[in-house]
Structure 1
Amino acid sequence: MRVTHLGHACLLVEMADRRILVDPGNFSSGFEDLTDLDAILVTHNHPDHFDPEPAARLIRANTRASVHTDPLTAEKLGAEGLQAVPTRREEQFAIGDITITPVGELHAFNNDHVPQIPNVGLVLRADGEPTLFHPGDAYDAEPGEVDVLAHPLNAPWCASRDSIGFVARIAPKAFVPIHDALLSERGKRMYCTHIESFSGVDGLTLRYLADGESGEFQ
């Protein structure tokens, strides 16, 4: 499996001979001109995970890509004449030989002034490939056994203790920090060091991918 971090929460995942883009948002770059995508996935309808104008152009440019999004994003795309299949918890679907399991239902609580919207995390599995979990913006889903966790490192809705506890509970073999656009490079490294030091996960490997950088996972 090859994972390219396109900034913040956006990942290009290449596995089982498929190219899948997750969460093309407005803190990310490099996804706008991608072609030959097999699927475009969106966890929730916040602009840092789904930037409407470039994402719509991307969908139109990748005519053979299936589009699977949380229910709110699917509704908004439908209003623009674009088809998307709503993802709902535990309603599995397949992209080629990849089985995708939606997990979770709601965005993490921010504050009393910000409504909770649908947030559906995504678990990607295929024979002979590592399992990847992208949770979107929530720490409460139950993805099962995970090899690679795309871990939201920092957000207005989380504290460092919650971030560390999430990694400890999921207990992946490796974590790839995402959702990091609000942090300096020094801040990213500090948060990552805290997770490595305090999560208590035996053999946990940090795979830090800078914006635009790719990594191979076995």
Structure 2
Amino acid sequence: MKLTKYSHSCVRFEQDGAVLVVDPGTFSEVEEALQGATAVLITHEHPDHIALDRVVAVLQADQGIELWAPQSAADAVVAALGEGSAERVHAVRGGEEFTAAGFPVRTYGGQHALIHPVIPMIANVGYLIGESVYHPGDSLIVPDGIGVQTLLVPVHAPWSKLSEVVDFVTSVRAARAYQIHDGLLNEAGLGMVEGQVTRLGAPYGTEFRHLDVRESVEV
């Protein structure tokens, strides 16, 4: 299975001609990432994880694309697409299993990480794709009952701090890890955070490596 990193939290999976994309948001190369896709997974409704107008435009142009998202995000997509779109837009919660574009998917969590007590909570769903790659969205929920092989790590956010990111990596103990949610960091900040994740994750068996935008790896 090929994984391609796009800007911020957007990643693309390809296998046997099938294409699945997670979180094509406003910081990302939405149209490029979605080219040829037949399935889209959205972790939550924030614009940096779903560029609603751009995603809807792609779905309108290609009626064969299906989308999975928490209820509020799914409702927004259906409202924008209009009549008849509900059949290919699926609301999901944590603890579910389904197949998207031929990829087996499991869901975890259900709640966005706390930003501040005065900011209302929204739903967030993490996705385990192909029984091996975990994309948590905007949460640090450790998936239970499975051994994650590849972890996508939200390295920086208004809702996180470095100690929490490191604890997440060392708790999941994936064999390999790559960064996501890096769109707000400059080069110096990214180097500092990734350096600590690399150093502190290694004793727990996790090899962290930075992926450039559009760089692909086999997972």
Q: Measure the CA separation in 2 of the matches of 1:142 and 1:68.
A: 19
Larger deviation, residues 2-11 vs 88-97: 88-97
Partner of 1:112 in structure 2? 117
Shift of 1:184: 1.0
Does the 8 Å CA contact 2:153/2:178 hold for their aligned counterparts? yes
User: What CA deviation, in whole Å up to 9, does each residue of 1:150-193 have, x standing for no partner?
Assistant: 11000000000000000000011111101001101221121111
Partner of 1:10 in structure 2? 10
Partner of 2:138 in structure 1? 137
Shift of 1:113: 2.5
Larger deviation, residues 191-200 vs 176-185: 191-200
- Aligned-pair Cα RMSD in Å: 1.6
Alignment of 1:4-43 (within 5 A): 4-29=4-29, 31-33=30-32, 34-43=34-43
**AA matched with 1:95:** A
Q: Measure the CA separation in 1 of the matches of 2:155 and 2:216.
A: 18
- Match for residue 91 of structure 2 among 80, 86, 92: 86
User: What CA deviation, in whole Å up to 9, does each residue of 1:8-46 have, x standing for no partner?
Assistant: 0001111354210100111112x2143321201100000
Partner of 1:189 in structure 2? 191
**AA matched with 1:191:** V
Alignment of 1:135-174 (within 5 A): 135-143=136-144, 144-174=146-176
TM-score (norm 2): 0.91
Q: Measure the CA separation in 1 of the matches of 2:128 and 2:16.
A: 14
Shift of 1:206: 1.9
